[in-house]
Amino acid sequence: MLTKVFKTLVLFLTCFSVCSVSLADERLPVKTMPLEKKTVPSVITAFGILEKTPQILYFEVSGYLTKLLVDEGRTVKKGRLLAKLDTVLIDNQKAQVQRALQHAKQKMVRAKKLQRRNILAQDQLEDTEYNYSTKLLELKEINEKRQKHFLYAPAKGKILKRFLDFAGPVDSSTPIFMMKSSKRPWLVTAHLTEIEINAIKKGDTAKVYFNGLPHKVFIGTVQKIADSTEEKDSMLEVEIALKKAAPFLRAGMNAKIQIETAKHTGYPVPLSAFFRVNNHKATVFVVDKENQVARKRAVEFNLIKGTNAIVLTDLSEFDELIITGQHNLKEGSLIQVIQE
């Protein structure tokens, strides 16, 4: 009887041992890619719009518009008169100030003669000089105000739109013309994430593509980067200035932008290989070929293009990166590499 019990116990322990070994030897399936060190440029892709309002021209003062001297589509030189406000009222005011100035000058000249003959006190002479200076200042101010009744082209360029067709009252908020300056670059406005913004700087080169012109590449540079986050979508605005324009560009065109940042040396990998991503830091699993286990490594990375990144941390002791199945792993997990 004891012999039978002993044999049963031995059989049970043997089965348990075999099952335990089998469970311990269970390997998790993963897919990998080779780790190859390369030097590549980082490229950030975004979408934007060619600036809708290259430059809106306004009068600086209110008045009655009497003349519009340029039509849409016309190219104008810098300083060309574009429009004019009625100057009857300002001309009358100027004439009054000129008469007052002349009278003040005559009084000052007479006062100087009397003062030289000791007939007039010094303070009385100074009063006439002050009055004359005041009238001179008034004339200067009214001349400056009158000049604002004329709207001139601020630079050589093209009139894209004329907002008014008839005479009528306008003020300083009434748009008169939309103009594209020949020297003012076309701007493309795009929105990037905070991680993307941190990877670029002013002066970075950008390639710009427009809908309808998929094979035409425009080269631009990063001109302006917003300082604060827009609360509505947590995106930051960036402006790209095109180096060369083209006659077929139109305000409001949709654009695809690829911004080239600094070149980096490291391991190009898909972003899907990362987990626990925090800014430019993440965790990856690599293959320990000798022991056929997964090794967890903290790495730093930079975006390079689309859904790809470049790992900057040294991984030279490993040959393969786990790109599928890594979320089921922990340090030292037994793995089985599945071939495609």
* Residue 10 located in a structural domain: no
Residues 199 and 230 in one domain: yes
Query: How many CA atoms does the CB half-sphere of 281 hold within 13 Å?
Result: 3
Query: In the sheet that 168-170 helps form, which strands lie side by side, from edge to edge?
Result: 150-152, 81-85, 63-68, 168-170
In a domain, 142, yes or no: yes
pLDDT tier, 77 (very low <50, low <70, confident <90, very high otherwise): very high
Structure tokens at 276: 């626990």
- Structure confidence at residue 106 (pLDDT): 95
Q: Give the per-residue pLDDT at 21.
A: 41
20: in domain:
no
Residues 173 and 70 in one domain: yes
Confidence of residue 19 (pLDDT cuts 50, 70, 90): very low
One domain for residues 190 and 175:
no
Encode pLDDT of 93-142 as tens digits. 999 999 999 999 999 999 999 988 888 888 898 999 999 999 999 999 99
Q: How many CA atoms lie within 13 A of 131 on its CB side?
A: 17
What mean pLDDT do residues 239-252 have? 80
Residue 167 falls within a domain, yes or no? yes
Q: What CATH number corresponds to the domain at position 256? A: 2.40.30.170
Residue ending a domain, among 183, 209, 234, is 183
User: For residue 177, is pLDDT > 90?
Assistant: yes
Q: Which of 263, 284, 317 is the last residue of a domain?
A: 263
d(CA 14, CA 69): 104
- What per-residue confidence (pLDDT) applies to 20? 44
Does one domain contain both 258 and 212? yes
304: left (phi over 0), alpha (psi -120 to 50) or beta: alpha
In a domain, 159, yes or no: yes
> What mean pLDDT value characterizes the chain?
85
131 shares a domain with 91: yes
CATH number reported for the structural domain that contains residue 332 in this entry: 2.40.420.20
31 & 106 share domain: no
Res. 294 pLDDT band, cuts 50 70 90? very high
pLDDT band for position 264 (50/70/90)?
confident
- Show which of 242, 263, 284 is a domain's final residue: 263
Residues 67 and 156 in one domain: yes
The answer as to whether 311 is a domain residue is yes
Could you tell me if residue 203 is inside a domain?
A: yes
Query: Percentage of the chain with pLDDT > 90?
Result: 46
Are 277 and 328 in a shared domain? yes
Do 325 and 271 share a structural domain?
Answer: yes
Q: Range of 232's domain?
A: 45-54+185-263
Cα 77 from Cα 55, distance rounded (Å): 15
What is the number of domains present in the chain?
4
Does 163 reside within a domain? yes
Domain match, 192 and 247 both: yes
| Whole-structure pTM value | 0.46
Q: Higher confidence at residue 99 or residue 242? A: 99
Instruction: Residue 163: give its domain's CATH number.
Output: 2.40.50.100
Q: Order of strands across the sheet with 177-181? A: 56-57, 177-181, 157-162, 75-76
- Per-residue pLDDT of 141-174, as tens digits, reads 999 999 999 999 988 888 989 999 888 999 999 9
Give yes or no: residues 68 and 35 share one domain: no
For residues 49 and 191, state if they share a domain: yes
Select from 147, 164, 143, 154 the least CA-distant residue to 67. Answer: 164
